[in-house]
Structure 1
């Protein structure tokens, strides 16, 4: 189980806090001056050193910011009030996850993660995959589990290594499932290139999207995470991609998301569609010309059906 008795003596650098919370270094410095929080100490080199209790408060603040709250209102609040506010607003997805997967099943899987039972977790996930099939496994099992695991991590109730173990277990099961999906033959089979841009290290959502694309008969090529923009352009040409699909998590800086998608759209040929999905709120708050935002994995099937009815799609995909 988690041991946080050492919390009083552990501090994180500003770079580590940025990675841990998704809040930029500039934001942390501005809040320190403007709101008097966070209040880091200094390490032996004179650099900012953030105690774990402040990092945990910053995690909750980030969740509330993503839900639409303003920093001037929430940053000065004590942790107890932030937690109550989070429970009344941000935690709705977690309750929704319990409805999808069942609260008992959700707790059982979380208990396996916290008990460091990697084999038991993989076996349980494999059984659920066999029971539901790939599509329902992704949407009805992995999606709510991701919400619950992310919530536990953001609250400091799960260590980073435990979250990584969970992610690896799901990836192993999903890769095995994707390998069993029969390849579609004939016309109307789009080529989809999947990846993330530099600064986006999370690849589980990408693998989930690949599974859904494969179920729809797409020919998928995944480049994994953190591929430079120009290499995405080169890969789209090399693999004759019809669609470039990118994943973004909530930790990405909104301006970086918008700027990168705009730059990539300008570099890709006009006939190559650019799709973007994930938990980054900016994808659905700011319109980016030439970019199709996917609100959920369930949207992939419908958008592919629309793609297949366009004249450019019919011309781009030859019959095998």
Structure 2
């Protein structure tokens, strides 16, 4: 079986589009362009899947299909991110201003206020996650520089670790262990720490292995800590077929009974692997 070619059923499952919509886009816009097998069956290239997902997301957010199909991948990413960060939110506006001014104390005070008002789970989901999306858009548009992003990252990492440690100290009795990590080449830490905090809040004991860890070492660590499951954070930058191969390798190496779950922005843009749970939102934890 050629795993680089997908049926229209696979395409629809992965993107949420109907087969009718896919075929209309083929005729009108020339994308996706199927290949014809000797048997006469039509198949689609796996490398087109991520772009098709982005087009579907852009159209769902109100952009015209004709414009979305003509847009570059970078432009599509910007469309999707901008839509996700468009809703007005006063405290996020203030946090963005404090970040632009490199005012770490103001950032800390605003975060503490939001945490008090929202509670821990909603704070992570409705303040930290959308704040990072806004920062990503602002950086892409040149409104924030790298030092702004680095300063905010340090403040957030310190806070997320502090909150998780406090929950650990309050915990009583045995807890199932979740090993948190990222795959080789993945160096985005904040998503991992956010998920670890939510897992801890939900009553798990989380062991954060860190970033950019070889698959063999993830499996060894899972055995040593007695992990109930391994949670892998994927950013947009590490989505795709190479990630699927790493996930299959990791799945084969994990001890019997240890589950594997992926999450983060890259999770929805990586084709499903049988037996691997996929969480595309922090709310799914």
Of 65, 69, 73, the match for 2:70:
73
- The Cα shift of 1:183 comes to 4.4
- 1:113 paired residue among 76, 88, 99: 99
Report Cα offsets for 1:82-101 as digits up to 9, x if no partner: 59x955x55220124x3xxx
Match of 1:213 among 199, 207, 210: 199
| Cα-Cα RMSD | 2.7
Task: Measure how far apart 1:284 and its partner are.
Answer: 5.3
1:292 aligned residue: 277
Q: 1:276-308: per-residue Cα shift (whole Å, max 9, x none)?
A: 000015x455210121000211111xxxxxxxx
Q: Which range moved further: 199-208 or 119-128? A: 119-128
Q: TM-score, normalised by structure 2?
A: 0.71
After TM superposition, give the deviation of residue 239 of structure 1 in Å.
Answer: 0.3
What is the distance in 2 between the residues matched to 1:230 and 1:135?
32
Question: 8 Å contact 2:153–2:190 — kept in the other structure?
Answer: yes
Once the 2 structures are TM-superposed, how far is the Cα of residue 171 of structure 1 from its aligned partner? 1.1
Aligned length: 225
Distance 1:191 1:285 in 2: 25
Cα separation, 2, equivalents of 1:86 and 1:154:
8
Equivalences for 1:135-146 in 2 at 5 Å?
135-146=121-132
Q: Which has the higher contact order (CA 8 A, sep 6+)?
A: 1
| Equivalent-residue separation in structure 2 for 1:75 and 1:296 (angstroms) | 25
Query: Are residue 173 (structure 1) and residue 159 (structure 2) matched?
Result: yes
Looking at structure 2, the residues matched to 243 and 211 of structure 1 have their Cα atoms a distance apart, in angstroms, of: 15
Contact 1:67/1:90 (8 A) holds in 2 = no
The answer to whether structure 1 residue 191 and structure 2 residue 177 are counterparts is: yes
Runs of 4+ in 1 over 4 A off after TM superposition: 63-66, 69-72
Determine the structure 1 residue equivalent to 2:5. Answer: none
Kindly indicate whether residue 91 of structure 2 is the aligned counterpart of residue 94 of structure 1.
Answer: no
Separation in 1, partners of 2:194, 2:115: 13
Q: Secondary structure at the match of 2:152?
A: helix
Aligned equivalents of 1:258, 1:160: Cα separation in 2: 30
- Residue 71 of structure 1: how far off its partner (Å): 9.8
Equivalent pair of 1:93/1:147 in contact (CA under 8 Å): yes
Supply the distance in 2 between the matched residues of 1:147 and 1:162 (Cα, whole angstroms). 14
Q: Is the 8 A contact 2:235 2:265 kept in 1?
A: yes
1:130 corresponds in structure 2 to 116
Structure 1, residues 236-265: CA drift from partner, whole Å, max 9, x if none?
Answer: 000010110010111114122211111101
Q: Unaligned stretches of 5+ in structure 1?
A: 1-62, 301-320
User: Matched residues in 2 for 1:256 and 1:113: separation?
Assistant: 35
TM-superposed CA distance for 1:68, in Å, is 2.7
Check the 8 A contact 1:195/1:224 in 2, yes or no: yes
Give SS of 1:124's match: helix
- Residue 221 of structure 1: CA displacement? 0.6
- Looking at structure 1, the residues matched to 271 and 51 of structure 2 have their Cα atoms a distance apart, in angstroms, of 19
CA distance in 2, matches of 1:163, 1:152: 10
Greater mean deviation of Cα atoms: 167-176 or 234-243 = 167-176
Structure 2 contact 185–212 (Cα < 8 Å) conserved: yes
Answer whether contact 1:126 1:173 (CA < 8 A) is retained: no
